[in-house]
Chains A and B, each alone.
Chain A
Amino acid sequence: AQKVTQAQTEISVVEKEDVTLDCVYETRDTTYYLFWYKQPPSGELVFLIRRNSFDEQNEISGRYSWNFQKSTSSFNFTITASQVVDSAVYFCALTMGANSKLTFGKGITLSVRP
């Protein structure tokens, strides 16, 4: 069975603060894929990143960075210098393989105040 845990439910920060969103996953498979999605108030899901289990390199994309640690089964997401437009619900997700059935965490609601 696979499971994704996002222990934080709501986070509120002031603009320009850094914020880290935690994601812990469970799987028995050695091959798996992890994702982060952003869901703004409008509702659509926006793809942020996809990472396979064999690539533990951390990734940086602008103000976004991801820390993948297999030893702790975590795939944390950090937003540097947060902005109001970052306010959204962020989902971490996991899939085993080609059937692309994603298991989502419960999501973290991030509010960035001006």
Chain B
Amino acid sequence: GAVVSQHPSRVICKSGTSVKIECRSLDFQATTMFWYRQFPKKSLMLMATSNEGSKATYEQGVEKDKFLINHASLTLSTLTVTSAHPEDSSFYICSARGPSGRTGELFFGEGSRLTVL
């Protein structure tokens, strides 16, 4: 089946630095990818929809300048957490719409756990 890979799986950074998380579709082209955030013991919250070649669409309440999303190719979307603070510590998961185009067919990455000290 289709595979989505995230990197890094874990990252620890100092407050004030920026962190980039990559989401790759390994064996298919993904024109649309989604970025979710998950707090401990909480559900997944959709942050933004990433479309190849265009600006990402952010959900209400998500800071565009804080969470920069770039979808420069059909197989790669990146999430950059700028000037990270401890409250940005979370589990970030990306997903890509599957190659069949069937509604709701999504493949999820392994997730990236960000810890900001």
Stretch of B69-77, B81-89, B107-115 contacting A (4+ beta carbons < 8 Å): B107-115
B42 contacts which chain A residues (CB < 8 A)? Answer: 106-107
Q: Report the bound CA distance from A99 to B110 in whole Å.
A: 22
Q: Which residues of A contact B43 (CB under 8 A)?
A: 91, 104-107
Kindly list chain B residues whose C-beta atoms are within 8 Å of the C-beta of A52. Answer: 103
Q: Which residue of A lies closest to B102 (CB)?
A: A50
Docked complex: A57-114 residues within 8 A CB-CB of B? 91, 95, 97-102, 104-107, 109
Give CA–CA (A37, B91) in the complex, Å: 16
Q: Is the beta-carbon distance between A99 and B111 smaller than 8 angstroms? A: no
CB distance from B24 to the nearest CB of A (A): 14
Q: A102 near B111 (CB under 8 angstroms)?
A: no
Instruction: Tell me the count of chain A residues lying within 8 A, CB to CB, of chain B.
Output: 23
Which residue of A33, A35, A43, A47 contacts B113 across the interface (Cβ within 8 Å)?
A43
CA distance A50 to B103 in the complex (A): 10
Which of B32, B49, B103, B111 is within 8 Å of A95, CB to CB? B103
Given A104-B43, A106-B43: A45 touches B103 (CB 8 Å cut-off)? no
B interface list, Cβ under 8 A from A: 32, 34, 41-44, 46, 49, 91, 93, 95, 97, 102-111, 113
